[in-house]
Structure 1
Amino acid sequence: MKSGVALFLVWVALAQGEEPAQERLVNTKQGRVRGYKQPGDDIFVFYGIPYATAPTGQWKFKDPIPAPTWFSTFEAINNTIACPQTKLNNNFTFPMSPQENCLVANIYVPDTTQKKLPVVVYVHGGAYLVGSGTMMEAKNLVRSKKVIVVTFNYRLGLHGFLCLGTHDIPGNAGMKDQIALLRWVNKHIESYGGNPQDVTIAGQSAGSSAVDLLMLSPAAKGLFHKVIPESGASLAPWSIQIDPLENAKYIAKKAGFDNVDDIYALEEFYKTASFDLLKSTSEFLERTDANFLLSPCLERKGSEGPFLTDSPYKILKSGKYPKVPLLYGFADMEGLLHVPVFDTLREKMNANFSDFIPADLKFDSVEEREEVAKKIKKFYFGEKPVSQESILSFINFISDVYFGYSTLKAVQLFVESGHDRVYLYEYNFVDESEPAIPYTDNVRGATHCAQSFAILDGKNFESPDETMISEEYKKVKAVMRELWVNFITTGVPVPPGSSLPAWPATGASGAPHMSLGRTMQLRSGALLEQRVRFWDSIYERHYRTPQPPPAPPTRHTEL
């Protein structure tokens, strides 16, 4: 059928007097795969290649199973496949076709005779709830003719991150999909011209958290050689479920199931629930405790094929992880992500600021919690209520809680454990065409994952076309892509002989670090030093270690 579709498209192009897309046939261990290069372009794209198979029915929360093979030629042309997800994807303009068996990869290959090119595997963001491998593309990185890019889908929401700790719902299906993809790359990418021994994992937002966690997972060891997390860290309050069983109970109750204290009844509810029910509505922008409910979890030690059994903090502190080159950072106003709900959240802040304490903090009493909430509120907002006049303080608060502090704390732990190849940055370019922040006198900032938009194709999710962006932004994009390609190919963002400013590895304090804006500036001071020290004083006393689901009781059956 797909072969027929491809031939039909060629016939239509010829009938309309257009030059048909040039094809490339690749022989792989799965079978023959045909991709296409559009007229006037210089990259071949292979869409929708199965890298694993998602289990179905009562097994839908289990590990992915091996990818299929085929005897006829696989036409790699379907770029609309997505995993089942919440209705949040209606905000996106790109076409998506959510389907149960969604574990596919997309490969972008330059038109070159060079073999064994470095490979970058890009993990899409979306709060572990939405998105797909083709929601944004990185064709311009590939046009450098120096790298191959792989994007892919992984199971999302409850399908990917429900963690009961039972035999049939152990947890982390979405992360095990990602490991299956990396194994698939290791096995098959050489057929497409890539080097399986030179793989960089990169990602934005939840994808950034994911690659940060993959670096710490023993299950992913040896499957990658460099890491680029963009605006999301393994230590973020939303990155690991603090209490996955309580989250599962909460979501089940919202769906109308009340027998949540019987773990086997709860397991049966989820195993038999429809896909529509399991889509679950997203609360992540409305939640106040920096907890997305559904994200990776810890699994019990001794469980079968776990993704992660120790907390990221413990692993980073121990230094027992591969110290591969790391390009690490965030945008200067990540908290702009929450500005659309600012007016609602500020009212909640003024009513009860303790609701905004991150989920990974714990207290011995209500009084202690209220005292810490008062301290946090005073640090960011002084003695005044949160108001329109304090929107920049609100943005700083959200930026620190969700992204900044966890990244910089991880940097400290990286360096203290002997990691001397961490390259830290803050991205702060804002195009003059961007609207000013509400309630300010023409203040602008770089929003959540702004650096990712600078590297990927287009302006943002809504605007994949680069012909309409300013000349200044085009120049920034060119520099950012050069830095990223340098890192992917050499392990350093500015190699010897480059015309770009020297960029040394950072120290434990976050100094030096690179400011990436209209120009590149190496800063000798610690990044967000005062704000990091403040949160250190909170977390040193109140950090709550994430826990795996408890072992289920022995199931008794009647004879």
Structure 2
Amino acid sequence: MLGTVLTEGGMVSGDNYGVSGLFHYMDVFRGIPFAAPPGRFEKPKPHPGWDGVLKAKDFRKRCIQLNLLQTDTRGDEDCLYLNIWVPQGRKEVSTNLPVMVWLFGGGFLVGASNGANFLDNYLYDGEEIANRGKVIVVTLSYRVGTLGFLSTGDDGIPGNYGLWDQHAGISWVHRNIKAFGGDPDNITVFGESAGGASVNFQLITPMNKGLIRRGISQSGVALCPWGINRNPRQFAELVATRVGCPTDDKMVACLKMTDASALILAGTLEMHGSPEAPIVNNLILSPVIDGDFLPDEPANLFVNAAERDYIIGVNDMDGHLFTGIDVPSINQPLPTTPVEDLKTLIAALTKAKGQQAADLAYNEYTSTWGSKPSKEQVKRAIVEVETDYIFLIPTQAALYLHNSVATTGRTYSYLFTQPSRMPGYPSWMGADHADDLQYVFGKPFATPLGYWPKHRDVSRYMIAYWTNFARTGDPNKGESDVPVNWPPFDSQTHKYVDINHRMGRNSVKQKLRMRFVNYWTNTFAGLPTISE
């Protein structure tokens, strides 16, 4: 066991306990500060340090954010802390282990480094990954909502504070992880949803040169339509108006003095959608092209990740969570979802290019229907449209871009298809948004009564691929056996692996949803824009 560890801020002590399996002990440190309590709308600053030994035994409060009902706030402004899991063998203390740094999702609005908690079972508990993959797992916090991502679009409040926090956490890990038995030159950043997009931003910013070796983006990349806010000023003025601040040259000073809870509540977004106004268009508290952390369009910055290995993938029904809000009838067994809802939804998502774009898209998504589509066909098409638009197409574009600029970096693509376990979902349901998290974090092992053996298979496969990749840059090579060899992605074959509990040689596929990728990236992109 590690006992007390010397970090740049001072001494820390955590917990040590026995675990089952190959590595027999786990050192866990919860709540180590990686930066000072952040100033309002300021980049994070180094922590001044502490005297004596910091007892790192409890998770700290999440960054201040909306509660789930958007009626109040929870958390604290003093929130820049991280947690570390270090697997230990029986005799010698671990050294030079690969390091995996987790960035949580939550639409840049909510989330915490330890994740949702049920009976002290935290979603982002790193123990199973660390123990099974023989890697160090770090989960870190970052500012979200108004305090993390509000931007005036100029030097007043440039924005991207949440991304700067992530960068500060990754830098801290790079400088200090050796003392915990980690290899500072082998850091893999991984995340899901807004966390997956964050991984992409951290890989392509010029700020992380020499800090990150590899990345894994699950259901989210920088190219997603919700990844960049292109008109931040408009929302900043709306927030200012909601908290009673002027919108002229006194706006910034006023916002900096406003109560944190009031600012967070003023950043509430419309969370009910419809086919005419899909909810994805409301996710506007996101990163901005600030000329600093992101000096250019994300697509032009991929060259910064040319030497980094990158796994990128989605869940086959990632859009379902959003579609259920926009078109609730898709989840109800009896009512038919009208074809008109599909037409309206497509029109809303293709609005910038006008009616021609909508008609072409509708033809693509209904090409296999025949004259009388079943209820299920209509519902599935609606889920497919949103999955493609919000996640899958931008992900394929990111794969293609990374592969085209990569020098030594390898590119890997996956599709996660283990059907959702949510009771009451339709029988045709695949993997919903965030369904992959429980498997990556080993919940079927941590809480075995809630799962079947097949779920433990999926979890074993994902942890093996993810930790092998973190160790060697190749998901097939490392400490863990994998069910099938996962070939790299290239621009000719577009190979990917289909991840579920029945993996075998038929799980390697190619040209994922090629017809729809072609429509969105070529046909749609090539049409003239008629409205912004």
TM-score, L = length of structure 2:
0.85
- 1:448 matched residue in structure 2: 433
Give the 3 Å change call, closer, same or farther, for CA 351–372 of structure 1 in structure 2: closer
Identity among equivalent pairs (%): 27
Match of 2:485 in 1: 502
**Per-residue displacement from partner, 1:487-525 (whole Å, max 9, x unpaired)?**
011110112895642222111256211111121444343
- The 1:132/1:320 distance shift into structure 2, 3 A limit, reads closer
- The residue number in structure 2 matching 1:178 is 166
* Cα drift, residue 67 of structure 1: 1.3
User: Residue 119 of structure 2 aligns with which residue?
Assistant: none
Q: Is residue 314 from structure 1 mapped to residue 306 from structure 2 by the alignment?
A: no
Q: Equivalents in 2 of 1:384, 1:484: separation in Å?
A: 43
Name the counterpart of 2:287. Answer: 296
Following superposition, the deviation at residue 85 of structure 1 comes to 0.8
Q: Call closer, same or farther: CA 1:114–1:389 in 2, change over 3 Å.
A: closer
> How far apart are 1:106 and its partner, in Å?
0.4
Q: Which amino acid aligns with 1:36?
A: D
Contact 1:89 1:131 in 2 (8 A): no
Aligned to 1:33: 12
> Which residue number corresponds to residue 526 of structure 2?
540
**How much does 1:416 deviate?**
2.4
Alignment: residue pair count: 494
1:396–1:503 distance in 2 versus 1, CA, 3 Å: same
CA distance in 2, matches of 1:542, 1:215: 31
The aligned amino acid for 1:67 is: H
- The runs of 5 or more residues in structure 2 that have no matched partner are 116-123, 330-336
For 1:332, give the aligned amino acid: D
Provide the C-alpha distance between the structure 1 equivalents of 2:458 and 2:345, rounded to a whole number of angstroms: 39
User: CA–CA distance in 1 between the matches of 2:393 and 2:165?
Assistant: 29
Task: Give the aligned residue type for 2:365.
Answer: Y
Q: Deviations over 1:241-292 (max 9, x none)?
A: 1222123234444x265853x2x23323422222122223243563626331
Match of 2:48 among 42, 54, 68: 68
Structure 2 counterpart of 1:467, from 445, 449, 452: 449
Q: Secondary structure at the match of 2:510?
A: coil
Cα deviation for residue 68 of structure 1 reads 2.9
State yes or no: 1:108 paired with 2:85. yes
Aligned pairs for 1:305-454 within 5 A: 306-316=292-302, 319-343=303-327, 349=341, 352-353=344-345, 356-357=348-349, 362-363=352-353, 369-380=354-365, 390-418=378-406, 421-430=410-419, 434-435=422-423, 437-438=425-426, 442-454=427-439
Letter in 1 for 2:402: F
1:116 deviates by 1.6
In structure 2, distance between residues paired with 1:464 and 1:269: 48
1:378 shift after superposition = 4.2
Q: Residues 285, 507 of structure 1: CA spacing in aligned structure 2 closer, same or farther, 3 A cutoff? A: farther
Looking at structure 2, the residues matched to 54 and 64 of structure 1 have their Cα atoms a distance apart, in angstroms, of 8
Q: CA shift at 1:226, angstroms? A: 0.8
Q: Of the candidates 126, 130, 153, which is equivalent to residue 106 of structure 2?
A: 126
Distance in 1 separating the partners of 2:261 and 2:435: 32
Distance in 1 (CA, whole Å) between partners of 2:212 and 2:161 is: 20
| CA deviation after TM superposition for structure 1 residue 417, in Å | 2.5
Is the CA contact 1:120–1:200 (under 8 Å) kept in the aligned structure 2? yes
Q: How far apart are the structure 2 equivalents of 1:168 and 1:231? A: 32
| Equivalent residues of 1:412, 1:510 under 8 A apart | no
Conserved 8 A contact 2:215-2:309:
yes
Task: Letter of the 1:526 partner, please give it.
Answer: K
- What's the secondary structure of 2:31's corresponding residue? strand
> Retained in 1: the 8 A contact 2:461–2:482?
no
Which deviations, in whole Å up to 9, do the C-alpha atoms of 1:143-164 show, x marking residues without a partner? 1362101101100011011111
Distance 1:117 1:320, change over 3 A: closer
Contact in 2 for aligned 1:121/1:151 (Cα 8 Å): yes
Paired residue for 2:194? Answer: 206
**C-alpha distance 474-90 of structure 1, shift in aligned 2 (>3 A):** farther
> SS in structure 2 opposite 1:450?
coil
The Cα of 1:388 is off from its aligned counterpart by 7.2
284-293 vs 472-481, which deviates more? Answer: 284-293
Aligned AA for 1:85? Answer: Q
Q: Distance in 1 between matches of 2:260 and 2:490?
A: 47
Q: Is residue 87–residue 94 contact of structure 2 (8 Å, CA) maintained in 1?
A: no
Q: Check if 1:281 corresponds to 2:268.
A: yes
Q: 1: distance between equivalents of 2:372 and 2:76?
A: 50
